[in-house]
Amino acid sequence: MKTLYIDNEIKYIGSQLAPHWIYKNFNIQGDAIVAFCGECDVKLSEMVDIEDVINNEPIYSKSMLSFITEQFNIELVEGVFRQRLLIFCIKETLEARGFIVKRDGDDLFINDKKLTVSIATKSLTSVLIHSGINILSQDAPIPVSGLKSDLDMNDIKDFAKEVMTRYSKELEDIVLASTKVRGV
């Protein structure tokens, strides 16, 4: 899996969760994960999480670290497994830095405040995943934790690269593990 940290700020509005967005914008073809920072403002019209739409819960963060991954030749259930794997990689990376993190499904919490948002969906050609981690907790519509505002994390880029590397290696290791066993 190819990885890229994008230095330019990008406002995540939900429309980036689209087939070939990574390829069209960053010339990375195939399975890939990218990360970037910027405001997050997903209106109900752009939401793919029907539960959030029904509950009238748009997503907003003044500053968020976003991960978008596109993966081909898999079905949605496997995509949701991979989404959970990405959340576990984020959790493990935070815990390796000494933070106590609680997971509930595909959400992470610090001090009982929501740290992340995440969704997996299927396009005609791929599975798309967005996972976002609040950097700042101010102005959020619900009580949230933030990497900078609550955890004093200043190396967001290094953290993002560490998460992407961990995720990519985990997926490669899973595929490799499947090649070393004999069928029964």
> Residue 62 sits in a domain of what CATH number?
3.30.930.10
Is 131 a member of any domain?
yes
Contact 113/144 with Cβ under 8 angstroms?
A: yes
Is 160 a member of any domain?
yes
Residue 58 has pLDDT above 90, yes or no: no
Average pLDDT of span 126-135:
98
Question: pLDDT class for 72, splitting at 50, 70, 90?
Answer: very high
Which domain, by its residues, includes 138?
Answer: 2-178
Average pLDDT of span 46-55:
90
Is 119 a member of any domain?
yes
Question: pLDDT class for 57, splitting at 50, 70, 90?
Answer: confident
Question: pLDDT class for 102, splitting at 50, 70, 90?
Answer: very high
Phi, psi dihedral angles at 122 (to 5 degrees): -115, 135
Is 183 a member of any domain?
no
Order of all β-strands in the sheet with 32-42: 2-5, 32-42, 59-72, 126-134, 116-122
Predicted pLDDT at 157: 98
Average pLDDT of span 68-73:
98
32 beta partners: 2, 70
Is 24 a member of any domain?
yes
128 alpha-carbon distance from chain centroid: 10
Predicted pLDDT at 80: 98
The structural domain count of the chain equals 1
Average pLDDT of span 135-141:
92
Of 80-84, 140-144, 166-170, the poorest mean pLDDT is in 140-144
Question: pLDDT class for 122, splitting at 50, 70, 90?
Answer: very high
Residue 141 has pLDDT above 90, yes or no: no
Question: pLDDT class for 89, splitting at 50, 70, 90?
Answer: very high
pTM, entire model: 0.95
**DSSP one-letter code for 110:** E
Is 74 a member of any domain?
yes
Is 71 a member of any domain?
yes
Is 184 a member of any domain?
no
178 alpha-carbon distance from chain centroid: 25
Residue 166 has pLDDT above 90, yes or no: yes
